Amino acid sequence: MDAAVSGRPVDVERQNEVKDQVSRFMLPAETILIRRMHVIVAAVLGQLRAGADWGAIAAEYLHGEPPATPLGETEGEYFDRRDRLNWTRASKAASSRPVPTWRCRRGERETSKSQ
């Protein structure tokens, strides 16, 4: 913003310091990509005028929170059945093989290691 618009004098030295800091700011490519995908999804949902408790829905996937919608409950039941079936098959193939921690929901990690 220049001095004519803001009514304040421009501190050229401060502007140069900020430009120098911004030019050294780096983010990993993966971070930029995922943030771009989040923005695109948000834009599409906004254009569709979709309404829901998006924070609660995201918490299901990101933090293992309980389902926030009927679809989330149905999906949870599906994955529970699938995981039980896969666990049964894996148990027959290899005895006492623990479930990988990346497949466990919050609170299940301790129990899956002991199985």
Query: Residue 74's pLDDT is what?
Result: 93
Domain assignments of the chain as residue spans, ordered by start = 1-51, 69-115
SS3 sequence of 52-110? CCHHHHHHHHHHCCCCCCHHHHHHHHHHHHHHHHHHHHHHHHCCCCCCCHHHCCCCCHH
What pTM was computed for the model? 0.43
The tokens for 1 are 């913003």
d(CA 41, CA 37): 6
Per-residue pLDDT of the chain in tens (115 residues, 90 and over written 9): 555 566 677 889 999 998 888 888 888 889 889 999 989 988 998 899 988 888 898 888 788 889 999 999 999 899 888 888 877 766 666 555 554 554 455 555 444 444 4
Rounded CA-CA distance 48/34 in Å is 21
pLDDT of residue 60: 86
pLDDT recorded at residue 40: 94
CA distance 112 to 99: 6
Given the structure tokens 């994955």, which residue do they identify? 79
Residue 73: CB atoms within 10 Å: 13
d(CA 96, CA 60): 28
